[in-house]
Amino acid sequence: MKRQRGASKFEFAVTVAILGVLAAALLVRLNDIQAEAERTEVDLTVRNIRVGIQLAIGERIMRGEEGRIIEVAQASPIDFLGHRPRGFTNGRFAEASGQWAYDPVRRELSYMPRLPAAFANATELHWRYVARLDSSGRTVGASLVGLN
């Protein structure tokens, strides 16, 4: 009787098939993790901008400088982040994936996702920076409002 050394072709094919299925599952999961990471990064950036705006307004109120709140409403919302977000461009439009931009004319912050599928296939995300006015028309705050 002939003694076999090593694995047969069938055993090798089964091993390769199992590794292929595991690799495919790993790649799908990795893509999901990257999408979640990008959603989290965008969400945290926007939240930090909003908190920075609130802190700047609160600081002026604490100092009794309510008349200077209009300066907050007229500035770029990126100024209240503390640092430029990764991929920020001074242009009016985000030109590449993963890039942020602020258009001072339209007062819009935009982001072009690296993975559009993470944002319901949106090719660009937009927020408008608006001043909040009281009944007499005086600026009393500012906020970043999502447009999509």
User: Tens digit of pLDDT for each residue in 2-37?
Assistant: 666 767 888 889 999 999 999 999 999 999 999 999
Q: Does residue 56 register a pLDDT over 70?
A: yes
Q: Where in the sequence is the domain holding 40, given as residue range(s)?
A: 9-146
Q: Is 117 domain-assigned?
A: yes
Q: Is 2 domain-assigned?
A: no
The count of structural domains within the chain is: 1
Q: Does residue 60 register a pLDDT over 80?
A: yes
CA distance 40 to 31: 14
**Can you give the pTM of this predicted structure?**
0.82
Q: Does residue 91 register a pLDDT over 80?
A: no
Q: Is 51 domain-assigned?
A: yes
Q: Is 1 domain-assigned?
A: no
Position 131 scores a pLDDT of: 93
